[in-house]
Chain A
Amino acid sequence: MSRSTNHQPTPGRRQFLQLVAAGGAAVVLSAAPGAAWAAPAAGRTRSYVLVVDGCRPDEITPALTPRLASLRAAGTNFPAARSLPVMETIPNHVMMMTGVRPDRSGVPANAIFDRSEGVVRDLDRPTDLHFPTLLERLQEQGLTTGSVLSKKYLYGIFGTRASYRWEPQPLLPVTGHAPDAATMDALLAMVDGPDPDFVFTNLGDIDRVGHSDLTGTTLRAARETALADTDVQVGRFIDHLKDTGKWDSSVVMVLADHSMDWSLPSNVISIDLILQARPELQSNVKIAQNGGADLLYWTGSDADRAAGLAAVEQLVAAHQGVLSVNRPADLRLGAEAGDLVAYCRAGWRFSDPYVASNPIPGNHGHPATEPIPFFVSGGSPAVVKQSVSSEPARTADVAPTIGRLYGLKAPAGGYDGTARTAALTV
């Protein structure tokens, strides 16, 4: 059993804390100005949200992921859980932490066309998120929070909202994320060090393996290896909570932000290519490609907008790999999502602006990638043990559920998500 070593906290003037984690690796945490490094008082409830990025619910099995399966069986499982549009990493992590849909948070997808800057870019800036999150709202209640996010763009958008945060490192060159072992080192260091009341963690390996194999030939074996490895990391965390006497006060929520779907090289949709036959449309549409979903933005004149979008919708919907073309408002995505959102069918992917732009067989963003694992476990008496609920849990339910643990009031305008009280005794 590996165990992180808790050294005495040594905060510097700039509120950085350097700890030594398992294997002697250095873990550097930063803290909000004025945040205390000393652990809060005993007798409280600790809560942890672990996002196993890109995991499908049927991939958690006693054989492949024994620790996750055991954790799920011990708590309350929500098998009908789903991700929310667009089924991408950034918007669903934002929904988890805000409890509201993208039309209120301003974060509908990983990539959008930024009309003001005239570019397609990731929503990875703190200013992209327009709604208060659990990470700062709990602090207003006198609690402390932490973020341990393996992906650089997640660290980017959540920024300094948490009391304590870890900047992912080392980042792997192709995937742009820190491996789960390093992420878990950081989480254990954070629990041993400042020990926040609530920590939000993203484990990115399962998702990144899904994305990284361009050939698809080794995908299944690599995916299973990643699942097994991530399971080991989750086991480290559970063991650590138990070894340090924190388990009985801990609520551990595990979910994914989306699942994963794999496409053949022949099943690629390029909307830009579809529109080539209509140059007047092609030149007036910008495309933000999100794997299983394409966000389309009309950039032509207002006078041509309605007819142009109608023509685009008709052309795109006619493609055999396209499942549906939707209005962003119908998906509660907000203005940032543009004018149309196209979903692909299972086994397909979008690749824009070029057919070669997205060579990755593993994608998400489309409805085929909605099902997610979602369960609440832990040693805390606040957790309903060994239960299964039919309730339709969603990623937006995380904030209201964790908030309920601490008696946190709903934000202005209320939550869009639902507190999953079937999992809680409080």
Chain B
Amino acid sequence: MPGSVLLWTRVTPTPDALPGSGTGPDVSVGWEVAVDSGFKKIVARGTAGTGPARDHTVKVIADRLTPGTSYWYRFTLGAAVSPVGRTRTAPAAGAPVDRLKFGVVSCANWQAGYFSSYRHLAARGDLDAVLHLGDYLYEYGPGEYQARDVVVRPHDPAVEMTQLAHYRRRHAQYKTDPDLQALHAAAPFIVTWDDHESANDAWKGGAENHTPGVEGTWSERFTAAHRAYAEWMPVRYEPGGTIYRRLDFGTLASLSMLDLRTYRDQQAANGADSAISSPTRTITGAAQMDWLLGNLTSTGPQWKLVGNPVMIAPVRVPSTLSAAELAGVQKLMGGTSISGVPYNVDQWDGYEADRNRVVRHLRDNSIKDTVFLTGDIHSGWACDVPADPATYPATGDSVAAELVCTSVTSDNLDDILNVPPRTGSVGVENAIKAANPHVKYLDFDSHGYSVLDVTPAGVRMDWYVLAERTDAGSGSTLTTSFNVQTTTGKVTPAQGGIA
């Protein structure tokens, strides 16, 4: 926010006050905010209480700060002093802003490898914030979902998380990762959840990976997942509230972070299910849709960025792929198939009426400079969002752009096909791009992170890929860049990395 930042930490005041334990004393934690990393000029300080009721996590809103300014913060508990973190306030409303730079990540499965992507982003030192688009953690137990067949590092607790204590311990385990710690210390996070923060393919009444009865009710599980999320994540969300929210960055950009799990109807059975186009089904819920359309307006900041947990551009998988390829794509995209051809009913593809509402709103009002920033699908994409998919091949009319970051570690197509990277997947990518002319870039194999550069002239995403996700010291390489030039709503290839 322009005048405030959210600070987060977790304390262990006594040896038994372990995550998920529900034990330990209530304590008061001190915090300080300074304009320098050496804390010579402290501009805000205070104390915050915590205890077992919130798993000894601490959230502080430090306010009365200067917009568009970097700050450093630390916590104290008794004689203990935390490591120092850097954060940054957003520019003031209406202030001209020349540039914003974000790290963009999603889909970080602890069991599938190391979080080298976070380390590389932390080392940049030039990020205004990190956008985490969901699947910050995974619910599975060891052996249920990992790097191909290899559990690189097992989850704790060693079971699928279904209860509050499980969710708390799993969050705590992820927070021990040094690369994740480094990135949290380097830049503020702007987060939303996707499904794995609760369970795979979650919807408002259940999830694909939830068995009522054996795993309790969905309501209980969902409530536990959200409570642990509120406790353990640096986000202005508390149970009972909404996580979808808008952040503004002067005149340059707004960022609408979506919640596409809490209000959505159950996924359709398959791609031929008439429910897909039913006007009564929703992925956003009515209130969030009204809010979103209200944000996509010509009266606010220039760029309308949307933190979008699942893809909105339509994706048709061609039936010409081999049976093995189709099976692999289906496993990657999830959902179901008709005659072996997959269709992702979990994306906006499965909720066409809601997608039409967004597309029609953008088209009817000629809203320019909307960019969907997406995760979920463990692959890198750059797409136009067609005004009408049927006529797009002839007209090229696009109402927005969609830029999809790949997974930090989670399996993708080469892993599923069990082939080396950039071999068996390349033909599949080409076939999908041919069947979907609005898809300009697709990498089904790589793991890594993206960097987003926002200026009045354009929005650009760089895709960096890891050499090896199972190597804790993996390097990363810039492979692809795409630009969305202002007013065009189209993605075009760009050269070189973001300076």
Contact A79 B302 (CB under 8 A): yes
Contact A79 B487 (CB under 8 A): yes
Chain A residues in 8 Å Cβ range of B457: 77, 79, 388
Q: A79-B486, A80-B302, A422-B96 are in contact. Are A390 and B251 (CB under 8 A)?
A: yes
Nearest chain A residue, comparing its CB with the CB of B298:
A82
Determine how close the nearest CB of chain A comes to the CB of B462; give it in whole angstroms. Answer: 20
Partner of B301 from A345, A368, A390 at Cβ < 8 Å: A390
Partner of A369 from B301, B366, B489 at Cβ < 8 Å: B366
Q: Mark A385-404, 1 if CB is under 8 A from B, else 0.
A: 00011111000000000000
**B residues 453-484 touching A (CB-CB < 8 Å):** 455-457
Q: A80-B368, A367-B364, A388-B456 are in contact. Are A57 and B298 (CB under 8 A)?
A: no
Provide the bound-state CA to CA distance between A345 and B368, in Å: 16
**A residues 22-60 touching B (CB-CB < 8 Å):** 57-58
Q: A58-B487, A345-B360, A422-B96 are in contact. Are A390 and B302 (CB under 8 A)?
A: yes
A371 at the interface (CB under 8 A from B): yes
Interface size on A, residues (CB 8 A): 23
Q: A388-B456, A392-B298 are in contact. Are A259 and B487 (CB under 8 A)?
A: no
B165 at the interface (CB under 8 A from A): no
Provide the bound-state CA to CA distance between A302 and B102, in Å: 58
Provide the bound-state CA to CA distance between A58 and B301, in Å: 19
Q: Mark B360-384, 1 if CB is under 8 A from A, else 0.
A: 1001111011000000000000000
**B residues 152-204 touching A (CB-CB < 8 Å):** none
A370 at the interface (CB under 8 A from B): yes
B488 at the interface (CB under 8 A from A): yes
Nearest chain A residue, comparing its CB with the CB of B458:
A388
Contact B302 A368 (CB under 8 A): no
Provide the bound-state CA to CA distance between A390 and B303, in Å: 8
Main secondary structure of the interface of B (DSSP, over half): loop
Chain B residues in 8 Å Cβ range of A369: 366
Partner of B369 from A80, A370, A422 at Cβ < 8 Å: A80
Chain B residues in 8 Å Cβ range of A188: none
Provide the bound-state CA to CA distance between A323 and B488, in Å: 23
A346 at the interface (CB under 8 A from B): yes
Contact A368 B366 (CB under 8 A): yes
Partner of B456 from A82, A347, A367, A389 at Cβ < 8 Å: A389
Provide the bound-state CA to CA distance between A80 and B368, in Å: 8
Chain B residues in 8 Å Cβ range of A367: 364-366
Provide the bound-state CA to CA distance between A261 and B364, in Å: 10
Nearest chain A residue, comparing its CB with the CB of B490:
A58
**A residues 51-106 touching B (CB-CB < 8 Å):** 57-58, 77, 79-80, 82
B339 at the interface (CB under 8 A from A): no
Determine how close the nearest CB of chain B comes to the CB of A404; give it in whole angstroms. Answer: 17
Nearest chain B residue, comparing its CB with the CB of A261:
B366
B275 at the interface (CB under 8 A from A): no
Q: Could you tell me which A residues sit within 8 Å of B by CB distance?
A: 57-58, 77, 79-80, 82, 259, 261, 323, 345-347, 367-371, 388-392, 422
